[in-house]
Amino acid sequence: MLKCNEIANLASDYLDKNLSWKEYFSVKMHLFMCGHCKRFVQHLLSTIRVVQGMERQLATTGETENIVACLPDKNQT
């Protein structure tokens, strides 16, 4: 049986149905037996649905420049 930390790593692919049938079945069995991971996957699904429903806005050139100016200089690290 998969461990809880493995479910955390597979949850996104599980929801996207990007798993083999064996992995999908293993995750499904774990979720049937583990309430914590079942809640985790339900929260992940809720988050995905909320984000998908959000209105997307493009940043203006000025906003993008302000954000880039706040980033650390990669040449100094």
Binding site for Zn ion (CB under 5 A): 4, 34, 37
Minimum distance between the CB of residue 49 and Zn ion, rounded to whole angstroms?
Answer: 22
Residue closer to Zn ion, measured from CB, 39 or 63: 39
Structure tokens belonging to residue 21: 């049938």
Minimum distance between the CB of residue 43 and Zn ion, rounded to whole angstroms?
Answer: 13
List helix spans (H) across 16-71. Answer: 21-33, 35-53, 61-70
Q: In angstroms, rounded to a whole number, what is the distance separating the alpha carbons of residues 75 and 77?
A: 6
Residue closer to Zn ion, measured from CB, 4 or 48: 4
